[in-house]
Amino acid sequence: MTIRLGDIAPDFEQDSSIGKLKFHEWAGSSWVVLFSHPADFTPVCTTELGLTAKLKPEFDKRNVKAIALSVDPAESHTAWIKDIEETQNTVVGFPIIADADRTVATLYDMIHPEASATATVRTLFVIDPNKKVRLSITYPMSTGRNFDEVLRVIDALQLTDGYTVATPGNWKDGDDVIIPLTVQDPEVIKQKYPKGFSSPRPYLRVTPQPNK
């Protein structure tokens, strides 16, 4: 199954480190970061889940819930969580889906046969409160994810949902933004962008971030 941006994230019911979990019900009205890892008790995955746990205050500020997945059973997740907490000096406050039958991995196309026939690659989805997929990133098994980039994109998505703007390359919260080409009416521009804008080219109109 191919999941594209704008698609409704497939719902599922699966075992997890906190018991049986119904995904859409668990997600509620929050944004969600759903990410897979190849296996429990592996070094890169341990650092990734430890980092995610430490980022809980940043996720909370953005109304984001994190949820991880691998094809290991729940008993393995429970033991591994203790290991993560000890080695990464943190508390894992999010569930890990125990996808032993690979139902969710198949639903979300997380197993790439040329990388591994059985383990999930490092797939990550950002899902909004309407259950729509807004970002998908896939990393190889040997490369840990950049969670600063995940937070940056969530900031951009939440900003552009609330304001008619786009974000330039390497944008970070607080930086200037871009007026989309779809906005051309001078009166609308005055109303929407009261701080004005600079325009080195007619197609490139830069304005201060509106909520700052």
DSSP labels, 52-75: HHHTHHHHHHTTEEEEEEESS-HH
Confirm whether 42 is domain-assigned. Answer: yes
Confirm whether 152 is domain-assigned. Answer: no
Picking from 95, 122, 147, the residue at the C-terminal end of a domain is 147
Residues 30 and 114 grouped into a single domain = yes
Q: What is the pLDDT of residue 119?
A: 66
Confirm whether 65 is domain-assigned. Answer: yes
Residues 131 and 39 grouped into a single domain = yes
Q: What is the pLDDT of residue 112?
A: 81
Confirm whether 157 is domain-assigned. Answer: no
Domain hosting residue 135, numbered range: 7-147
Confirm whether 187 is domain-assigned. Answer: yes
What are the catalytic residues? 45
Confirm whether 154 is domain-assigned. Answer: no
Quick one: tokens of 175?
Answer: 């930086």
Residues 178 and 129 grouped into a single domain = no
Tally of structural domains, the chain: 2
Confirm whether 119 is domain-assigned. Answer: yes
CB within 8 A of 127, min separation 6: which ones? 9, 27, 31, 32, 33, 34, 133, 134
pLDDT of the chain, 212 residues: tens digit per residue: 689 999 999 999 999 999 999 999 999 999 999 999 988 899 999 999 999 999 999 999 999 999 999 989 999 999 999 999 999 999 999 999 999 998 999 999 888 866 765 667 689 999 999 999 999 999 988 899 999 999 999 999 999 999 999 999 999 999 999 999 999 999 999 999 999 999 988 899 999 999 87
Q: What is the pLDDT of residue 46?
A: 94
Confirm whether 101 is domain-assigned. Answer: yes
Burial string for 158-179 (b: 16+ CB within 10 Å, else e) reads bbeeeeebebeeebeeeebbbb
CATH of the domain at 102: 3.40.30.10
Residues 42 and 104 grouped into a single domain = yes
Nearest to 176 by CA among 148, 152, 212: 212
Q: Find how far residue 111's CA is from the centre of its chain.
A: 18
pTM equals 0.93
- Rounded CA-CA distance 23/138 in Å is 21
Q: What is the pLDDT of residue 120?
A: 76
